[in-house]
Amino acid sequence: YTAGGSSGAAKVVAAGLLTVGGGVGGTILYAKWDHKFRAAVENNVPYSDWLLGLALGPAYQGDIMKQVRMDSQHVWVIIADSVVAPHTELPLRERPVEEVAARLAQQDQKEQDTLSSVSASLEECLASSAKATLQAIGAQEAAVQAITQHIHKLKEAMEAEVPPPEKSSQWKDLEAALADRTSAVNDAETALLKAKEALDSLKSEIDKSKGLKVSAVRPLVLAAEENLHNMVVDLDRVVTKLQSAESESKIVSQYSDLVNEAKLQFQREVSSLTPEIQANWKGLTGKLSADDLNALIAHAHRRIDQLNRELAEQRVREQIHIDASLEQQKLEDQKALEKAVLTAVQHIKEDTRLEQERKLSELREVMEAEMRTQLRRQAAAHTDHVQDVLKVQEQELRADAEQVLGSKLLEQETSYRQLSQEQLDNFTLDMNTAYARLKGMEEAIDSHVVAEEEARKAHQLWLSVEALNYSLKMADADSPTMPLESAAQAVRDSCHDNDFALALATALPEESLQRGVYSEASLRARFNALRALVRRVALVDETHNSLYQYFLSYLQAALLFEAKQEAPPGQLCSEDLDPFRLLSYASFCLEHGDLELAAKLVNQLRGEARRVVEDWLTEARLTLETRQVVSLLSAYANAVGLGTTQAP
């Protein structure tokens, strides 16, 4: 490799390593900082958890959770801070219904109390103010009335040309009227003051109650305000009336004053002229003399001249005066207008305000009603929703509970069933075992009994077979045994359920049963006797049976000698079939107790020898049969007995 190539490869390798190392390091660092990232990496990249654990230590299991909890706590704290102070101990804890209700009740109660108090106070104030106002109005009216009366009277008094006594009475009336008026005005003033006071107090009360910010009070307040306004309006009206009346009266009074002044002047003049005359119109009429009258007239003339001059002057200054008075009047009018305008504006403002307030209150009521309906609707909707949710929840919970209940019940039932089944099984098992044992015991007993029975039967059989055997053996030399019938019957009786033995027992030959069998010894003896005879008729058979043959066979028998006994060979050949041979074999066998072989051998005889031996053979066969059967029976009995005998 070239150096450049190797350095190039090294460069590539180094760059790759750097990249990988940088990536891993960056991942680790970032994982150290951001736990969620770490968790994500650990989840997605295999073996990263090992690596990160190696690098940073085990990840906080609760870290993320803690963060989240901390965040939420911060949020809660923030919310808690923003909430009113009493709620800081547990943020956003839903106040229990009772507390809320209590609070609401308390609030309601308070409202009611304030309402009642406010209404009471308002009513009181209203009442008092109304009274005062009415009083004031009445007083004002009275004052107005008095004023008008006074003015009227004054006018009357001034203009009416009535006789002096009446004039004095008129003047008296006037004075009375004036006094009335003054008193009335004073009364009116005081009443007005009182009314104003009352109204002020009412206003303050209204303001106070307005300041309470209780909504229920508002209509009352509004009504009170309206009343106040009305009263104020009335009062003002009356006051304006009074004022107008007063102004009118002022004019009139001014006029009357002027007149009075003039009169006084005149009087003074007159009195100056005539000092003894009282300045009393009424008294004047009867007491004046002619001089006085002339003086008076002269005075009057002078006065008239003066007055004319004044009038002319006045006429000259009329315009100016009029202008000035007009100005004054304008000013006053302006003032009055302003005042009236002000009051009217105030009234209108008040009116509008009241109207506004009324409208507002109406609107508020309407709004309240609407809001109430909306709230009611919302409440209804909420209740509906809550009902629905509750229903659903109820269903869910019911389903859950039912499920749980069902599963629990099922569990319980299955466990109970299991238990009961177990119990039953155990019981059954016990019962079965007990029963089995009982059955076993019964069977054992039965088998014992059966075995005993069997043993007994076997014993009996054996005994009977032994008896049979014995009776077989107990045979005399020449006579047959007793008939085996009884013994056989006994055997048959003792084995009537055993087929084998029964078969065997029935297999006994009839002859043996009826007549008995010959013993071996007798047979032997008989054979010995027979032997001679058989020897003598050895040559006689079917074909050779003349007397000559007889003679020859007799001759043979006399001349032939054979061995007395000869052991028979295993197999007979044709030479052994010679009767003499056979006889010797048979004799041998008989001597050795082998009746069977002897019978077999004897069976080989033919011809006359055979005929002679026939009976013996039959007897031998019988005996052999019986003996065989008996031996079988005894063997069987022995076997059975052995089988049933219990080894100690």
Q: Which residues bind another protein (CB under 8 A)?
A: 526, 529-530, 533, 537, 540, 542, 545-547, 550, 608, 611-616
The answer to whether residues 259 and 158 touch, using CB atoms and an 8 Å cutoff, is yes
Minimum distance of another protein from residue 557's CB (angstroms): 13
Minimum distance of another protein from residue 460's CB (angstroms): 37
Of residues 334 and 618, the one with the C-beta less far from another protein: 618
Of residues 358 and 611, the one with the C-beta less far from another protein: 611
**CA–CA gap between residue 567 and residue 106 (Å, rounded):** 149
Of residues 339 and 610, the one with the C-beta less far from another protein: 610
Of residues 547 and 559, the one with the C-beta less far from another protein: 547
Minimum distance of another protein from residue 587's CB (angstroms): 16
Minimum distance of another protein from residue 545's CB (angstroms): 5
On the 0-12 / 13-18 / 19+ scale of CB atoms within 10 A, 456 is middle
Minimum distance of another protein from residue 563's CB (angstroms): 22
The answer to whether residues 471 and 482 touch, using CB atoms and an 8 Å cutoff, is yes
Q: Which residues contact 1 (CB under 8 A, 6 or more apart)?
A: 9
Helix axes 485-494, 499-507, angle to 10 degrees: 170
Going by C-alpha positions, the residue among 467, 465, 466 that lies closest to residue 505 is 465
Minimum distance of another protein from residue 485's CB (angstroms): 23
What contacts 24+ positions apart, CB below 8 Å, involve 477-481? 477/519, 477/521, 477/522, 477/525, 478/522, 478/525, 479/522, 480/515, 480/516, 480/517, 480/518, 480/519, 480/522, 481/516, 481/517, 481/518, 481/519
**DSSP structure string for 108-144:** HHHHHHHHHHHHHHHHHHHHHHHHHHHHHHHHHHHHH
Minimum distance of another protein from residue 638's CB (angstroms): 36
Minimum distance of another protein from residue 476's CB (angstroms): 17
**CA–CA gap between residue 580 and residue 568 (Å, rounded):** 12
Of residues 250 and 611, the one with the C-beta less far from another protein: 611
Q: Which H or E run contains 394?
A: helix 290-473
Of residues 568 and 607, the one with the C-beta less far from another protein: 607
Of residues 55 and 533, the one with the C-beta less far from another protein: 533
Minimum distance of another protein from residue 534's CB (angstroms): 8
**CA–CA gap between residue 637 and residue 422 (Å, rounded):** 53
Pick left, alpha or beta for residue 638 (phi over 0 → left; psi -120 to 50 → alpha; otherwise beta).
alpha
Minimum distance of another protein from residue 621's CB (angstroms): 13
Of residues 357 and 608, the one with the C-beta less far from another protein: 608
Minimum distance of another protein from residue 469's CB (angstroms): 27
**CA–CA gap between residue 577 and residue 597 (Å, rounded):** 14
Q: Which H or E run contains 421?
A: helix 290-473
Of residues 353 and 515, the one with the C-beta less far from another protein: 515
Of residues 482 and 533, the one with the C-beta less far from another protein: 533
Minimum distance of another protein from residue 590's CB (angstroms): 16
Going by C-alpha positions, the residue among 181, 64, 188 that lies closest to residue 135 is 188
**CA–CA gap between residue 534 and residue 611 (Å, rounded):** 9
Residue type, 592: H
Angle, CA of 262, 151 and 147, to the nearest 5°: 130
**CA–CA gap between residue 218 and residue 259 (Å, rounded):** 57
Of residues 495 and 602, the one with the C-beta less far from another protein: 602
Residue type, 185: V
Of residues 332 and 615, the one with the C-beta less far from another protein: 615
The answer to whether residues 626 and 567 touch, using CB atoms and an 8 Å cutoff, is no
Of residues 63 and 614, the one with the C-beta less far from another protein: 614
**CA–CA gap between residue 425 and residue 591 (Å, rounded):** 76
Query: In the block, which residue shows the tokens 């001349």?
Result: 559
Of residues 232 and 517, the one with the C-beta less far from another protein: 517
Of residues 494 and 519, the one with the C-beta less far from another protein: 519
Minimum distance of another protein from residue 565's CB (angstroms): 20
Going by C-alpha positions, the residue among 234, 216, 637 that lies closest to residue 466 is 637
Q: How far is CA 598 from CA 56, 69, 75, 268, 620, in A?
A: 119, 124, 133, 225, 9
**CA–CA gap between residue 348 and residue 344 (Å, rounded):** 6
Minimum distance of another protein from residue 497's CB (angstroms): 39
Minimum distance of another protein from residue 628's CB (angstroms): 23
The answer to whether residues 194 and 213 touch, using CB atoms and an 8 Å cutoff, is no
